Structure 1
């Protein structure tokens, strides 16, 4: 299988278009004719960032967005609950997921492999790769090697999306390298007095710098700012 040899190309891809193109090329090598990858980062209970890479029927992509299916997506729900790949035929579906399942079956995902891309942050940062086939039962006897390769691909796609989300956050917030370093020190347990002594400034000046960093990340306190920085891979 040539998928492993091409995985480094995923992380180096310069744009979403190039990643989707590469995903589309890799799908047939894993026995799939449709595929999608979705990444979710939950800053807190009110802020969630969802990004996707879609190599499937355009009608499915349009409906996913229009119907707000991320809240009724059994594949994403499963990835939030488990780290183990599963066949779609083995998923327990809730009643509110029926429309999603029916439409997905019609548009290229009659059979699917659902491959979670977990992180150390649990449900706060997770991804899911779905390999689909228009043939019912196609993945019911999927080769074990396909599962291994799919998990590796899922993690590469997750890392690629995390990088782009992080770059967007830096550009949008305007947070500086010095402010990121300040948050890194906080994460290491350094107090304002310790940081002030190291930087040869007053503790109040350190507190003001923290305040500006918190404002950039729209965080109410240092702890939340550090958590956001960690979630997005800034520190």
Structure 2
């Protein structure tokens, strides 16, 4: 199920993007906010820093999306908002994220892109774009935060403006590195938060994590028992409990789940 964190409705900006990025303190201020996100563990502080970062990058609204598709039937999506809560609520109610052109770009291409360069091929994709326009999004900048190692978990920072063509100007090249840094830092923060939530909610301990790492390496029950200095029966029993906690059918799937959600690498 989607999980969302809300911030107050943003105030539209008046400056052009050129004016924003040409400010002598632009890079320094943006980097200070990004470093602040890296250093905090509190969600309220991250939301406040994200809201301030949105303003520092010249956007009227900003959304960060963390998205995992385990398989065709199981998805997890979380939002951080410096944007209209009503926009996000309507989007969630339609459960459109599986066919979202912005998310599909983030999954398939690591490069930031302006919304105007994306093709909307389905009715659902066009409806998603019209919903964004309903909430004042005339221009958008999509900034992927990919994860390496074959993990399908991705993040995407969406910066928006009420001004058509706002992000299409040549000075967007100066925005790109700061937006990328913000997207990656938010992605890492969410990954840590999700990992901590799963460990606490499912009562996962260090022994469980070691078993999952050994399973990911392809070790058999006898080998895992030798590595952990326990019995084969104990290994099998522990994996059965892990499978039940994660809602997976077998221990290979549990190891994949643990990898996707950042419990193991």
- Give TM-score, length-normalised by structure 2: 0.81
2:185 counterpart residue number: 156
Match of 2:244 among 215, 219, 224: 215
Asked if 1:105 is matched to 2:133, the reply is yes
Distance apart, 1:209 and its partner CA:
2.2
Count of aligned positions:
235
Task: Tell me if structure 2 keeps the 8 A contact 1:80–1:122.
Answer: no
* DSSP-derived class of the 2:31 partner: helix
1:182 counterpart residue number: 211
2:143 counterpart residue number: 115
Which blocks of at least 5 consecutive residues in structure 1 are unaligned? none
Distance 1:131 1:49 in 2: 22
2:260 counterpart residue number: 231
Farther-moved stretch of structure 1 (164-173 vs 82-91): 164-173
Distance 2:262 2:98 in 1: 25
Distance apart, 1:164 and its partner CA:
1.6
Moved over 4 A (4+): none
Distance apart, 1:182 and its partner CA:
1.1
Which blocks of at least 5 consecutive residues in structure 2 are unaligned? 1-26
1:91 counterpart residue number: 118
Asked if 1:25 is matched to 2:52, the reply is yes
Match of 2:224 among 192, 195, 204: 195
1:146 counterpart residue number: 175
2:157 counterpart residue number: 129
C-alpha change, 1:123 and 1:76, in structure 2 (3 Å) is: farther
Asked if 1:3 is matched to 2:30, the reply is yes
Distance 2:114 2:220 in 1: 49
Asked if 1:13 is matched to 2:32, the reply is no
* DSSP-derived class of the 1:48 partner: strand
Task: Tell me if structure 2 keeps the 8 A contact 1:121–1:231.
Answer: no
